[in-house]
A and B are shown apart, each in its own frame.
Chain A
Amino acid sequence: GAGVSQSPSNKVTEKGKDVELRCDPISGHTALYWYRQSLGQGLEFLIYFQGNSAPDKSGLPSDRFSAERTGGSVSTLTIQRTQQEDSAVYLCASSLDKNQPQHFGDGTRLSIL
């Protein structure tokens, strides 16, 4: 389809392992966001990519979290040495530019055992 695609849909892993989450934005969208949402809570901003500008990393909760966006398209969010408190739904969104509304993927549900 033409929407934002995230993979995997679900990920279960043991505490201490590294995980990589992938986001394919809508083609042509220059802005890409990562959010985290715990059950019953609001969206927590993680990181924002806009074109070729330096990303806004101000929402990353610790240095275990990192993200990159290659070629201005696909993005990966990496969590190293996962902890149980990292369990959440990780949502990716993209927009045509920084002022246009965002469109979200279905999210990756991450469970840390």
Chain B
Amino acid sequence: RKEVEQDPGPFNVPEGATVAFNCTYSNSASQSFFWYRQDCRKEPKLLMSVYSSGNEDGRFTAQLNRASQYISLLIRDSKLSDSATYLCVVNKERFYFGSGTKLNVKP
């Protein structure tokens, strides 16, 4: 079983839409959680850390549910520039990356 599971998508949404991604992780002792963004043929870049209390950064909201072992990312008012692959990352002694969820925002 993979440490981190994500729906690969693609999620095809119109500009202005709200879209949500989830990922699940297998190790209940995982300690820290992140969302990364990867553009085509580029390196992954940190989007935001994820906390149990939930955290928001502009149009992006991340949430952690430790009891159910899942992490979510909500993007409001989608922009064309949000088109990318979103990677869910879990840390327990080392980092574990999900395979990513592809988002296409259409005009």
Query: What are the residues of chain B within 8 A of A56 when measuring CB–CB?
Result: 93-94
In the bound complex, what is the Cα–Cα distance between A46 and B89 (angstroms)?
16
Contact A106 B46, CB 8 Å, known A33-B95, A98-B91, A101-B34: no
CB distance from B101 to the nearest CB of A (A): 11
Interface contact B44-A43, CB-CB below 8 Å: yes
Q: B55: shortest Cβ distance to chain A, in Å?
A: 13
Contact of A99 among B32, B44, B87, B97 (CB under 8 A): B32
Interface string of A94-113 (1 = CB under 8 A from B): 00001101111111000000
Residues of A near any B CB (own CB < 8 A): 33, 35, 41-43, 45, 48, 50, 56, 91, 98-99, 101-107
Q: Hey, which bits of chain B sit against chain A, CB under 8 A? A: 31-32, 34, 42-46, 49, 87, 89, 91, 93-100
